[in-house]
């Protein structure tokens, strides 16, 4: 699994993407094929080969993102941002982005992304540190990135938390793509990132998911309420190991109200709470 750090295993870091010549982009992409289908989040999990066109688009987006983040660092000293991608078409739920992680600048210069990924076909998920190329290397629904810059105080708290073993404090199994926002039975990727933000801002007092969720509620975070009908819920549960609805309260589940953590709900809350600037879209 080149250039990937599974936080559990602490593998070598990736080289700075900007230092890689354009002519080598596809070579880098080819080297990443081996792992590309094994861990996913906010994606369709369909089994289909990565094409040269897909790799080129994904890695070019990663390079543009690296350039934008480096410019942000040079101008404002920014070291941590919320970074989101569009892995699926979620427009029927009135959502734009499917998955986010915390991108941070390492002392050596490269940007890394700490995020949780689901192993496709299973109910498992792990926390990874990846380079920007890996973060975008997929058959994305749309080749654009969302960047949201937290306040300096939030950045400092996240940078310290994400680069230490504390990054795993709230990692939990098993995984469900639609886990209940205020439950602890399952945990999806955006939920891990949001609960981790809570722990980073309160490292001495938040030691578990219950405490993190209580803090998020006290600060006015509101999850997305997705309308998912019973037939769709049944089909999803029967055909996918990473989809479960039994952690949702019965009254809401029977009313087809599935409350889960989404990128859109988090970015709106961060801006509303003045914990971060408005989202910036990079196409």
The structural domains of the chain, with segments of one domain joined by +, span 4-282
Q: What is the spatial distance between Cα 109 and Cα 111, in angstroms, rounded to a whole number?
A: 7
Taking residue 136's Cβ as centre, other Cβ atoms within 10 Å add up to: 26
| pLDDT at residue 51, as a whole number | 85
pLDDT at residue 24 in the model: 36
The DSSP letter of residue 13 is: P
Residue 276 DSSP symbol: B
Question: What pLDDT sits at residue 13?
Answer: 34
The per-residue pLDDT for 26 is: 34
Angle, alpha carbons 67-95-85 (nearest 5°): 25
Tell me whether the omega of the peptide bond preceding residue 174 falls within 30 degrees of 0, making it cis: yes
Backbone angles phi, psi at 127, to 5 degrees: -90, 135
Measured distance between the N- and C-terminal CA atoms of the chain, rounded to whole angstroms: 28
Could you tell me the maximum CA-CA distance found in the chain, to the nearest angstrom? 56
Query: Which helix or strand (DSSP H or E) is residue 232 part of?
Result: helix 230-239
State residue 146 phi and psi, 5-degree precision. Answer: -110, 130
User: Quick one: which H or E segment has residue 37?
Assistant: none
Q: Enumerate residues 6+ apart whose C-beta is below 8 A from 71.
A: none
Which residue has tokens 């999850």?
223
What was the pLDDT predicted at 57?
93
Entry pTM: 0.85
Q: How would you label 139-151 residue by residue, b for 16+ Cβ within 10 Å and e otherwise?
A: bbbebbbbbbbbe
pLDDT of residue 208: 98
CA distance 257 to 245: 11
The pLDDT of residue 177 is 92
What pLDDT tens digit does each residue of the chain (283 aa) get? Answer: 334 555 543 323 333 333 334 333 333 433 333 333 445 554 446 666 778 888 899 999 999 999 999 999 999 999 999 999 999 899 998 999 999 999 999 999 899 999 999 987 788 999 999 999 999 986 799 999 999 999 999 999 999 999 999 999 999 999 999 999 999 999 999 999 999 999 999 999 999 999 999 999 999 999 999 988 553 444 444 446 888 899 999 998 888 889 999 999 999 999 999 999 999 999 8
């Amino acid at each position: 699994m080149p250039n990937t750090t599974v936080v559990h295993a602490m593998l070598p870091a990736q080289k700075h993407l900007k230092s890689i010549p354009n002519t080598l982009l596809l070579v880098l992409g080819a080297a990443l094929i081996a792992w590309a289908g094994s861990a996913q989040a906010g994606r369709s999990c369909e089994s289909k080969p990565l094409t040269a066109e897909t790799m080129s688009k994904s890695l070019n987006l990663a390079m543009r993102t690296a350039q934008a983040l480096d410019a942000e660092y040079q101008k404002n000293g920014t070291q941590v941002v919320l970074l989101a991608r569009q892995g699926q078409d979620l427009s029927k739920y009135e959502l734009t982005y499917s998955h986010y992680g915390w991108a941070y600048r390492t002392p050596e210069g490269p940007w890394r992304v700490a995020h949780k990924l689901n192993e496709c076909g299973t109910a498992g998920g792990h926390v990874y540190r990846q380079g920007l190329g890996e973060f975008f290397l997929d058959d994305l629904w749309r080749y654009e990135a969302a960047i949201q810059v937290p306040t300096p105080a939030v950045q400092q708290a996240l940078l310290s938390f994400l680069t230490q073993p504390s990054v795993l404090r709230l990692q939990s199994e098993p995984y469900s793509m639609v886990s209940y926002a205020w439950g602890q039975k399952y945990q999806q990727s955006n939920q891990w990132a949001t609960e981790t933000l809570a722990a980073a801002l309160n490292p001495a007092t938040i030691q578990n998911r219950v405490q993190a969720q209580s803090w998020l509620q006290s600060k006015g975070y509101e999850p997305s309420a997705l309308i998912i009908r019973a037939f769709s819920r049944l089909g999803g549960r029967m055909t996918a190991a990473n989809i479960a609805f039994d952690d949702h309260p019965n009254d809401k589940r029977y009313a087809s109200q599935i409350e889960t953590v989404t990128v859109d709900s988090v970015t709106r809350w961060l801006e509303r709470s003045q914990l971060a600037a408005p989202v910036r879209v990079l196409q």
